[in-house]
Structures are given as structure tokens and as C-alpha cells.
Structure 1
Amino acid sequence: MGQLANPNANTESLTVIDNRTGKSYAIPILNNTVSATAFKSIAAPKKPGERDENETTKGLRVSDKGFLNTAVIQSEITYIDGEAGILRYRGYPIEQLALKSNHLETAYLLIYGVLPSKEQYHNFRLEVTRHRVVHADAEGFFRSFRYDAHPMAILTSAFAYLGSYYSEANPSLQGQKLYTKGDAESLEMIDRQIYRLIGKATTLAAMAYRVRQGREFVIPPSHLSYTGSFLYMMDHMGEENYTPNPVLEKALDVLFLLHADHELNASCTTVLQTASSLVDPYSAIAAGCASLYGPLHGGANEAVIRMLISIGSPENVPAFIQAVKKREKTLSGFGHRVYKTSDPRSFIVRKTADEVFKVTGRDALLDTAMALHDAAMKDEYFVRRKLAPNVDFCGLIYRAMGFPLDFFPVLFAVPRVVGWLAHWRQMMIQEGGVKIWRPRQVYVGPSKRDYEPIDSRAPSDSPRTVATAVEHSGITKRTMLATFKGKL
């Protein structure tokens, strides 16, 4: 809590003078961070005529729309310096990991904090492999979706569905301290869910892919790598000794490693927000998957390709740039909430793309993408706004590998399960236990109003306060024109 300041106050503190009262407060600074709750001690008398809803006498609230500068948790997992273009997993630069490690080894690092020994890695990989198979009933679940259902809608539902098979993993059924006791039994229960979710992520994603193709599902093979098994489950059609192309297998592994975690992005925050209620991890992962679905997050690389297709060819880039400046078009694949210089992953993506194109052939959209890149990097409009190209250009690799556009977010979600689980595990075993995340709001709505009978109310004429009339067609339209008993 903030204390009244004194001349001998700790230099590692922030002195705040409340000009409303003339009081001075010393707010402690720890790890270059001040506690938002410390500002609750800075209270003032209510001014004449001031709204009760401001709660002035209860202390200051800290407003931060969109979490632009609010830390909600202490973490040891991922470090990002957006100004310098730095990304590190548990202290290891992403460039080193992409060159020397693989996705499953990096998953171990993210979740447990250290690079595994040879035996630890073998056991971890073995457990993930053992847990890839899903219940036979899952086939009926996947077949229940429409033929044109978006694969992210299927995958999101599948993660939630998966939790229904494991009642022993649900704190609502087994007690709310199931994952937070910190003893060996609790840690084992956490790890079992981690193996299941990482192992089954590729299986569920492959099933979401094949159900769209009208194909039978494939049992996960035990002799292939994590990404090799994924490609096998998506593509195998009964061929003898089928083995995915090693270049594509390696490229997918590198992209999975790059996408495994990215600190408290929207989907990770959603997972932790959901998990803070001590819900089962399958529901929390499903919530993260739903958040990732959005075009401002995991759907961005799909949006990049659709943008490039709409541009067409390099000669159309100047006109598109002008349209963006006039706010007539949206520029996807440039700019990032965190990175203000180039995303460090983009250099690795570029190298990976070159290797993939040697096998698949060069994507025709690459010329358009590079023309857009060069034009934007030289244009003062984009330079001034620090709209550097980011990692979403990996969509070109997915396109070259033959994946449909709407499957791109799935290829983002599968590896990100690792990061979500790393943060989930960290939250479950943190000192002090888990507190439910409950942000404050600044209420600016009406003060107390008295209820009016419906016959005495004047109709509202503001568009924001009027329910929209929806145009109906088909059966609904004909039913509205029909006559029947009880019709409204």
C-alpha cells in the first residue's frame, strides 16, 4: 500500500502529490513496477455535485484501456523487448532455439524452465506420443459439424469436448485445490494434462482438417516426429510406408517453435483469465483458442494472404499503399502491438520460406509481398508509425505447403497450446495460490434512475439504444406471413 511520503523515504519509490488534498504519498517501486493497489490509499473527499459512482473517497483506480501498460502477473517464461526486437524463451534467444532446438524440446524448456537432459527429453517425448490418440467417440463429434465449418470453430469446440472425458482432471468435481497444492500428486496431475493436451492438439487439428476433406481419420503414428506425425495424420491416404517430406516437416517444426509462446498476448491472457477461476485446463485452452481465432490475433496471417490476393501483382502495390493512407484499405502483416522494429521471428521465417520454396516452388504472391514490404519500408507514412513487417508473412509458407487459408489459424493454435500450458502451470504452482482475475471498471453510465411504466416511456431515437430490425427471408419470412394460433 502507498504510504504518506516523508523526506527519508526509500529512493526506490514514486512520490505522488495529490493536488486535491495536498497530501504526498510514497509508492514503492519493485522490479521497475508500481502496485496498482497502492493507489487505493490515495483518497479524497467527494466534491460538491460529484457523482457517487466516481467512488472518490474509496481511493484512486488505475485506468488502462486494453492493458497497454499493466502487468497482471510475475512470470519467468518469455521476455520480449519490442523496441530492440528481442524475443527469449526462459532466457534463450529465439534465434538460437530455432537453429539448434526443436519444438518438443523447446516445449519442455517453456513449461519446466530448463533444457531437458537426454533422458528427460526422451521421457517427455514418449509421454506426449502416448497421449496423442483420442477416444473412438471423437469421430462422431467431428462428423457432427457442417461440411463448411471453419476449422478453428471445430478445434475450439474439440478442446472443450476433450475435457468431458477426464473427470479426474476437473477441479469442479475433484476439489478446487487439485492443481494448486504444490505436492507431488498435484504436479503429476498437472503434467498428465500437459501431455494430453500437447499430444492431442495435433490429432484434433488433423481431424478438423480431414473432416473438411470428407476423409476418414488416421490413427497417430508412433514412429514419426511431432510435426511429421501431424502431416501424416492430415495427408496419409493408405500409401505404404508413407513419410512426409523432411523439408516440410522441419519447416513446420521451426514455425511451431517460433509460435510456441509470446508472453501475455490476447489468447494467453484469456487462458489465464479463465484458469484463474480454477476451471479445468481443457476449458481454459478452448477459451484461448477462441481468442486466437480473431483477425487481430491468430487470424492475422490468414488476413495477410487475403490482402495479397486482393492486391494481385506488384504493379498494384503503389495504388494499394495510397488506399491504406486514405484509410480505404487495411494493411495486414505490418505493425505489432509489442514490436516497434522488425519482429525477430521474421528473419527466421524468411530463411525457412526459402528452404520450403526450393521444394514446393516459389509462391507467386511472394513478389507482391516483397514489393509491398519494400514500398512500406521506404514510405515516411509507415516509417513514422513504426509499421515494420511482422511474422504473419509465414502465411506464404503455409500457402506454399498447400494448406487452405482458413486452416492457418489452426497452425498457429496447435503450437501455442505449449505456451498456454506453460503459463497455466506457472499460475497453478505460484506462491500465494491463485486469485481470480477481476478487473475494475470506470462506470460512466447513468446515476440512479426510477423505473417508468412502459406506457409512459418515450421511444429512444439514438441508434445505439435501439435494437436493430433484422430482415428475414425463407422459412421465417413465410411463417411471419402465415396465420396460426398463438402468433405474436
Structure 2
Amino acid sequence: MTTASLTLDGKSYDLPVIRGTEDETAIDITKLLGQSGAITMDPGFNSTGACRSGITFIDGDKGILRYRGYPIEQLAERSDFVETAWLLLYGELPTGEQLDGFRAQLTYHSMIHEDMKKFFEGFPPGAHPMAILSAMVASLSTYYPGTEDDHSDVNIVRLLAKVRTIAAYAYKKSIGQPTIYPKNDLSYCANFLHMMFAVPAEDYHVSPVLVKALNMLLILHADHEQNCSTSTVRIVASSKANIFASISAGICALWGPLHGGANQAVLEMLEMIHRDGGDYKKYVMLAKDKTSDFRL
């Protein structure tokens, strides 16, 4: 094994060197404290890896995003979100039988307990959707308290299935419309769009174009390495908190404007440009103007 040598107060310490899946180099300092009495200082964890992982690789400067070695371009073109979720969870693309079974389980677990609908009544109409999502995901632990489920895949399926129902119900709450139950004959993304935009008084037909766009959006956002929210989930789960509490904490981390909240800012900017007539070229020029406060 290759080692790196650290000299401190005249003493040398050999530290293992680890190679990543993309041939990155890491120095394992696990035993440094015990051997030397010293710790490392890395505010913001800019130079720290919390664990070994072969799930996702990102190089933003080069425009590279890979899940389990598959380029994101291939997955966006040939896969859908459910198949990509399986890939991320289990490391390989599913067989046809596995994928059909996974889809069936997601459909089966789409409903939330009817009592949970009362929780939405307690939130003000202007409540932030991330606040509602975090609270509702945490509340799932009261309906599925069995710790044995944390060691099986059923809670993963429950989360993937129910989070879209919760998100759709939160949206309906914000606009004062009645909630819409999921439909078992719709795909994962089509079901979410149905719950978001259907109303009881009229028929709603889900646009295949929107389904394709949503699939691509979810694939692109499915995993982004050891980011803030992923690290938060791992830290909370390390205390043996249940999966719903851990994911709820991750949602709170995702809420921040330096993390997932940046997406909200982009959508608000696009809505503002649309209200102003949709002249995007004007705003591109404003962004280039150093005297302007506008930023893309």
C-alpha cells in the first residue's frame, strides 16, 4: 500500500494513501489522532472525504456527472427516474423483472395515512414547501416506528413513493385546492403531475412532454456526491436515528440558499423574467453589465 509521510515535532507518521474510483488521491488520517495526538483542521470540509463511495462522480468544470459509472447523458436519454433510482441504490441497472417489481412497490406505497392530511390543515397557506416536506417526512416515523424496517428496503420504497404525494399535497394546500389521490395506472412522474395539477371538477390528462421533462429533471438531481444534505443525513443516521428523521434533517439542509434553495432562486428569477415579457436577452445583457446588480 502506498503511504504518505507526515512529520510533526520531529516524528514521522506513515498514512495510507487511497485511490478513488476516478483515480483521485486521498490520505487516510483515521489513526492520526491515536498515533500523534494531533487532529486535522479543515473548515468547511473542503479537503475532506467522509467515506469511500462509488456512487456518483461530478466534475462541474468539465461538465461531467456519472452515476455508478454511467454518464448522465446516457441515463437522461435512455432511462427514467425509477430505473435510475434503482441504479443508485443497488449499483447496477435492474433486470426487466426487477424494474417491474420496483415500479409496483412504488405504486403500492403511494398513499399516505389519511390522518396525515389533517397535518396540512395546521400549516398556514404561505408555508414554505420545504418546511412542510421536512415536517411531514419526519412524521412518517410515527406511522412506521419499527426499527426492523430500517434494515430493509421497505422504508426506502416508502420514502420514494410518498414524498411525491406529500409534495403535491403541500402545493395543493398553498393554492387552496383539494388534494388529489394517486392513481395506480400512472407512472411515477405522471402520478406526481396528476396529483399536482388535476382538480376534481374536470378531467386532467398528463402531458407526455411534461413527464419526460420531469424524468430528466429528477435524474439530474438524483444524487450529487457527498454534498451538504447527504452529509447531514449520514451524520444524523450515525446516531441510529430512524431513516425518516435522518431524511427530514437532510431536507432541512437542502432548504438553504447555498444548496437546494438556489433552485428556488432560479425559478423565481425565471418567473420574474416571464412577468416582464420574457425578454431573456435583456437580462443576459444586464448580467454582463458590471454596473448592474442583476445576476443570473
Q: TM-score, normalised by structure 2?
A: 0.88
Residue 369 of structure 1 and its aligned partner are, at CA, apart by 5.0
Residue 202 (str. 1) matches residue 116 (str. 2)? no
SS of match in other structure, 1:364: coil
TM-score by length of 1: 0.55
2:233 to 243, 262, 271: 271
- The residue identity in structure 1 corresponding to 2:140 is L
Which residue pairs with 1:143 in the alignment?
Answer: 121
Give the 3-state SS of the residue equivalent to 1:148 in structure 2.
Answer: coil
Specify the alignment match of 2:28 in structure 1. 35
Q: Quote the Cα distance in structure 1 between the aligned partners of 2:283 and 2:239.
A: 43
Identical amino acids, percent of aligned pairs: 42
- State whether residues 111 and 162 of structure 2, in contact with CA within 8 Å, keep that contact through their aligned partners in structure 1: yes
Unaligned 5+ segments in structure 2 are 20-24
Q: Are 1:367 and 2:281 counterparts?
A: yes
CA spacing shift, 1:289–1:123, aligned 2, 3 Å: same
The Cα RMSD (Å) is 2.5
Q: Conserved in 2, the CA contact under 8 Å of 1:236 and 1:242?
A: yes
- SS of 2:13's partner is strand
Q: Does 1:154 align with 2:123?
A: no
Give the counterpart letter for 2:224 in structure 1. Answer: H
For 1:256 and 1:152, the matched residues in 2 are separated by 17
**Cα separation, 2, equivalents of 1:75 and 1:212:** 39
User: Could you list the per-position Cα deviations for residues 194-226 of structure 1 after superposition, in whole angstroms to 9, with x for gaps in the alignment?
Assistant: 111100011000010011111211110111111
Structure 2 equivalent of residue 222 of structure 1: 184
The residue that corresponds to 2:73 in the other structure is 95
> Distance between the aligned counterparts of 1:309 and 1:210, measured in 2?
19
Gaps of 5+ in 1: 1-9, 44-58, 180-185, 314-362, 380-388, 394-488
For residues 122-271 of structure 1, what are the structure 2 equivalents within 5 Å?
122-168=100-146, 170=147, 179=150, 186=151, 190-238=152-200, 241-271=203-233
Judged with a 3 Å threshold, the aligned counterparts in structure 2 of structure 1 residues 259 and 30 are, in CA distance, closer, same or farther, namely same
Structure 1 position 105, deviation (Å):
0.6
Q: 1:15 aligns with which of 5, 12, 31?
A: 5
- Determine the structure 1 residue equivalent to 2:52: 74
Q: Deviations over 1:151-193 (max 9, x none)?
A: 111111000011110122x3xxx6xxx75xxxxxx4xxx2110
1:249 deviates by 1.7
Q: Does 1:107 align with 2:76?
A: no
Give CA deviations for 1:115-168 in whole Å, capped at 9, x if unaligned: 111111000000001100011101111111112211111111000011110122
Judged with a 3 Å threshold, the aligned counterparts in structure 2 of structure 1 residues 40 and 260 are, in CA distance, closer, same or farther, namely same
Contact 1:308 1:368 in 2 (8 A): no
Could you tell me which amino acid in structure 2 is paired with residue 263 of structure 1? Answer: E
Q: Which has the larger radius of gyration?
A: 1
Q: How does 1:291-440 map to 2 (within 5 A)?
A: 291-306=253-268, 364=278, 366-368=280-282, 370-371=284-285, 375=288
Partner AA of 1:79 in structure 2: F
Inter-CA distance 288–372: structure 2 relative to 1 (3 Å threshold): farther
Amino acid at match of 1:158: M
Distance apart, 1:73 and its partner CA: 0.9
- Across the two proteins, how many residue pairs are aligned to each other? 286
- More RCO (CA 8 Å, sep 6+): 1
Contact 2:233 2:250 in 1 (8 A): yes
Instruction: After TM superposition, give the deviation of residue 308 of structure 1 in Å.
Output: 6.4
Amino acid at match of 1:364: G
